[in-house]
Amino acid sequence: MTLQDDINELYTRREKAQQMGGEKRVAKQHARGRLTARERVLKLLDPDSFLELGLLAHADIPELEELSAADGRICGTGTINNKMVGIIAQDRTVLGGSGGTIGSQKSQTQHELAVEGGYPIIELGDEPGGVRIQNVMGSRGWVGEWLGRVMRGRSLEPMTRKIPRIEAIMGECFGEPSWNAAWSDHTVMVKGGAMGAAGPKMLEKSIGQKITPQELAGWELQSRVTGQADAIADNDEHCLELIKEFLSYMPSNCNEEPPYGPTQDDPYRKLDRVAKIVPVELNRGYDMYRLIKHMVDDGKYFPVKREFAPSLVTCLARIGGRVVGIYGNNPMYNAGAPDVSACEKGTQFLCLCDSFNIPLISLMDIPGMYPGKEAERLKLPTKIIVWLQAQNLVTVPRIHIILRKYFAMGVVCMQGNRKKTDITVAWPNAKMSFVDPDIGLGLAMESRIAEAADPEAEKEKVFQEWTKGSAPWDAAGLYGIHDIIDPRDTRKFIVQALEMLRGSRDKVISQHKLQNWPVGF
């Protein structure tokens, strides 16, 4: 044997591993309308930037060695727009994408490298069957190998918000991809996909429940009901583009600022369409996304959980080139009143922004929280306090802008206990009170109105008094808010306020008090 013979053997083995599960299984993947794991990796990364680790790995069960190219996990590093990322892709053509011991060790190594290197980690999930059963049967496999070696070896470090973690659900995924999605900072699902703790086959065998993957845990459920999906993609290519777009707003790690984005959009541009977008009448709805589009650089924003809890808007954008997290009430839904789901959505968004040094802009047009029988069954008071607790741990700059309605407990959820370093301003048409004057009449002044000589006239008199008293002038006079601004100058004000609040490193790089906040509550 010569060195060249050994080199030839190396390339033969590499070529065989890169064929994944073979032509038939690759063709089957394409027939589903899906890319293979390797195609996904190469489309996501910059050309010629992929450095793969573990290509020659295989299952640790002898009879599966020839069937387990790379043990069903494609792992390595590369760049996206010249920015380093770690990548883990589940290969459905290899043993159905099931998770084996060696593949899990490869994934864990890639996580550790990303955390130590300080760059994002991206996982492309496509695993319908979950853990590989052959690896976990019996005490040796389950306790000795899986729990004793694989799970114990998984450091808790990657589970904190130190680096951005992105999960893509690119098929019907049960088991590992679902856990990854729950841990991630951003989850994208492809239409037709599903993610859940246990798949239909497991349910039928264990509890006798017959159900389709979509009925059980499909993309519509996860985007509209549970909120476990942050974005929905039309297909694999769209999914990869959404991942790239999300990363464009994120720093590589928690010790860096988000990337500055140069723009030709005048930072002091007048918002000349505000009056057409936001009606003065409090009982008229409008789409908050239209206002955000008018406000941000080049009209570009990246919504987070758009279809979940739609009364609360959460999105990433740039204003004056600086990345900001915008959350606001959307009067198109529940008149803008946050419900229980919105409490969870808002809390998770705060965790994301505070962990990765993204200043927060709240656009408040809030009539209060959304109460009712169902809300009480879902622990609305507890959810409100959890949101408030998270608000009070935020250490990135916060700018609060009161647009129209500013009523009841909801305002505290939207801004927390205001800190001295927060900036709060209002538009001149804003109305501020414990409740909407129209509702307050039915709660407090019934006797006075009923006993008046002309009840209707008295009711109108009280209503006008309370409405006048709800204008922002007294709040500004007592310095309860910092200023009242021309709505058309909102963009200019945010740019100037952000520059002022960036005056110290403690405000540019947050204290990360929400970094270890649980992903659910």
> For residue 517, is it within any domain?
no
Buried b (16+ CB within 10 A) or exposed e, 407-427: bbbbbbbbbbebeeebbbbbb
Write out the two tokens for 347.
């809390």
Q: Among candidates 247, 275, 101, which has minimal Cα distance to 185?
A: 247
Neighbours of 364 (CB within 10 A): 24
Write out the two tokens for 7.
């080199």
CA distance 334 to 15: 57
pLDDT recorded at residue 444: 59
The number of distinct structural domains making up the chain is 3
CA distance 192 to 219: 7
If asked whether residues 153 and 225 sit together in one domain, one would say yes
Q: Residue 491: which CATH number?
A: 3.90.226.10
> For residue 224, is it within any domain?
yes
Q: Among candidates 192, 186, 187, 188, which has minimal Cα distance to 172?
A: 192
CA distance 42 to 35: 11
What tens digit of pLDDT does each residue of 228-272 get?
999 999 999 999 999 999 999 999 999 999 999 999 999 999 999
Question: What is the identity of the amino acid at 378?
Answer: L
If asked whether residues 358 and 450 sit together in one domain, one would say no
* Residues 296 and 328: beta-carbon distance below 8 Å: no
pLDDT recorded at residue 462: 62
pLDDT recorded at residue 99: 78
pLDDT recorded at residue 309: 96
CA distance 370 to 330: 13
* Residues 130 and 200: beta-carbon distance below 8 Å: no
CA distance 18 to 159: 30
> For residue 264, is it within any domain?
no
If asked whether residues 288 and 404 sit together in one domain, one would say yes
> For residue 62, is it within any domain?
yes
If asked whether residues 142 and 19 sit together in one domain, one would say yes
> For residue 40, is it within any domain?
yes
DSSP state of 131: B
If asked whether residues 148 and 189 sit together in one domain, one would say yes
CA distance 25 to 345: 39
pLDDT recorded at residue 211: 86
> For residue 253, is it within any domain?
no
If asked whether residues 451 and 475 sit together in one domain, one would say no
pLDDT recorded at residue 132: 75
Write out the two tokens for 246.
């999300």
Q: Provide the domain limits for residue 493.
A: 274-430+471-503
If asked whether residues 29 and 69 sit together in one domain, one would say yes
> For residue 31, is it within any domain?
yes
Q: Among candidates 154, 225, 237, which has minimal Cα distance to 188?
A: 237
String of DSSP letters for 308-350? SSTTEEEEEEEETTEEEEEEEE-TTTGGG---HHHHHHHHHHH
Write out the two tokens for 180.
């990854």
Tens place of pLDDT per residue across the chain (521 aa) = 899 999 999 999 999 999 999 999 999 999 999 999 999 999 999 999 999 999 999 988 888 888 889 999 999 999 999 999 999 999 999 988 887 888 888 999 999 999 999 999 999 999 876 777 777 677 777 776 666 666 665 555 555 799 999 999 999 988 888 888 988 999 999 999 999 888 777 777 778 888 888 888 899 999 999 999 999 999 999 999 999 999 999 999 999 999 999 999 999 999 999 999 999 988 899 999 999 999 999 999 999 999 999 999 999 999 999 999 999 999 999 999 999 999 999 999 999 999 999 999 999 999 888 888 998 998 998 999 999 999 999 999 999 999 998 988 788 888 877 776 689 999 999 998 876 666 655 555 666 666 666 766 666 666 666 667 688 999 999 999 999 999 999 999 999 999 998 775 556 899 999 999 988 77
What tens digit of pLDDT does each residue of 437-472 get?
666 555 556 666 666 667 666 666 666 666 676 889
| CA angle (369, 370, 374) in 5-degree steps | 135
CA distance 446 to 437: 13
Place of tokens 């593949």: 103
If asked whether residues 166 and 218 sit together in one domain, one would say yes
Q: Among the three residues 248, 263, 293, which one is the final residue of a domain in this structure?
A: 248
* Residues 274 and 490: beta-carbon distance below 8 Å: yes
If asked whether residues 54 and 136 sit together in one domain, one would say yes
pLDDT recorded at residue 148: 65
If asked whether residues 424 and 447 sit together in one domain, one would say no
If asked whether residues 490 and 387 sit together in one domain, one would say yes
* Residues 304 and 353: beta-carbon distance below 8 Å: no
Note the Cα 492 to chain centre separation in Å. Answer: 27
Q: Among candidates 170, 312, 164, which has minimal Cα distance to 244?
A: 164
Write out the two tokens for 399.
């700018």
> For residue 255, is it within any domain?
no
pLDDT recorded at residue 96: 83
CA distance 339 to 289: 19
If asked whether residues 426 and 439 sit together in one domain, one would say no
What tens digit of pLDDT does each residue of 189-221 get?
999 999 988 877 777 777 888 888 888 889 999
Helix (H, G, I), strand (E, B) or coil at 163: coil
CA distance 128 to 90: 10
